[in-house]
Amino acid sequence: MTAELRSDLDAIPAYVPGRSVPGAIKLASNESPGGPLPGVVEAITAAAAGVSRYPDNAAVALTSVIAEKIGVPAANVVAGCGSVALCQQLVQITCAAGDEVVFSWRSFEAYPVVTRVAGATPVPVPNTAEHGHDLDAMAAAIGERTRLVFVCTPNNPTGTTISATEIGKFLDKVPERVLVVVDEAYVEYGDADDPDRVDGISLAMERPNVITLRTFSKAYALAGVRVGYAVGNSAAIVALRKVSIPFSVNAAAQAAAIAALGAADVMRERAAVVVAERERVTGLLREAGYAVPSSRGNFVWLPLGEDTAAFTADAADNGLLVRGYGTDGVRVTIGHADENDALIAFARTRAAARAV
């Protein structure tokens, strides 16, 4: 007889490994092209000499470097084993069994999973016809049992953003007892000149019920070592530390993140190249007939509906790994120019074949 497991876990899909195609171009996981930033491999190598010891559980050095960079006290920052771990911890510090977590859908795939793992109930609110968050509907979905709202801007996988004005109005409607998490995983690819751009750090410092998440996995090119951080009021930060798995931000990750922050100039140069490529790819895909919404991430969204699975499979047959989402659409990560060219060539050929 097998042991009795939590039956509510049946609602969480079992992990299915992605298709691996040797030699394929990988545009499926929003990773940065170009490898680790300068100094990162050296920092990890140096940290390797110390791995017989436990890491610093509070990641004090990393936390203070982050705090200085973003201009907040260290007491308002906590590092996590990727920001996805912090998503789970945020549900854990707010929700008991049966409490509700509101988020837009489609959005980051981890939101419903971490919600269920904590025994809470996901309340997905459909995206607008323009693939963005429907903030009015999200505010209306907040009920007595709502404890947490995830807001993802730019939204993964659709690339849409929320303006500072829009998020301000939304936050004014949310009861202060409800925690709002602003997930800024792609903030480095945003438009720095946009005067109505969301500043998640300021929001988190000004509003006691806002926590902002950032990650080293995307623009900082550290997806493999797992580091992210949360910024917000110190009581929530203390709670997040309580529920974290001890020592889960490992020594190599802490050293790598400090080194990556030291190479922020190179990060910004690389992000600018990705942004230029994103705009080029968006334009060419639109010319080929795809209704691609404007993206502020390092990826673009093809709302392909029923064609999603076939497009994803055909792309893989052509050596291109992209991410399909049910019958909603396909997310394509922006890679090097030649990789993006291969994607465009495939997308053009396929659009032409289907138009016949």
Ligand X SMILES: *Cc1c(COP(=O)(O)O)cnc(C)c1O
List contacts with ligand X (CB under 6 A).
Answer: 30, 82-84, 108, 152, 156, 183, 185, 215, 217-218, 223, 228
For residue 268, CA distances in Å to 131, 188, 190, 264, 271 come to: 27, 7, 11, 6, 5
Quick one: tokens of 116? 């269920």
Closest-approach residue to ligand X (CB): 82
* Nearest alpha-carbon partner for 207 in 183, 236, 229: 236
Length reported for the chain: 356
If the CB atoms of residues 99 and 184 are measured against ligand X, the closer one turns out to be 184
- The structure tokens 């990650």 sit at 215
| In the complex, minimum distance from the CB of residue 30 to ligand X, in angstroms, rounded to a whole number | 6
The amino acid at residue 131 is H
Give the shortest CB-133-to-ligand X separation in angstroms. Answer: 12
Q: Which is nearer to ligand X, 63 or 217 (CB)?
A: 217
Task: Output 156 or 295, the one with its CB closest to ligand X.
Answer: 156
Q: How far is the CB of 217 from ligand X (least distance, A)?
A: 3
- For ligand X, the closer CB: 108 or 290: 108
Residues 6+ apart with CB under 8 A from 194: none
What residues contact residue 171 under an 8 Å CB cut-off, 6+ apart? 180, 203, 207, 209, 210
Contact 50, 251 (CB under 8 A): yes
User: Where are the strands (E) in the chain, listed by range?
Assistant: 25-26, 77-80, 100-105, 121-126, 146-152, 179-183, 210-215, 228-231, 299-302, 320-321, 323-325, 329-333
Residue 150 Cβ, how far from ligand X at the closest point, in Å?
9
Residue 313 CB, shortest distance to ligand X, in Å, is 23
Cβ closest to ligand X, residue 225 vs residue 342: 225
Closest distance of CB 117 from ligand X, Å: 14
* Residue among 200 and 228 whose Cβ is closer to ligand X: 228
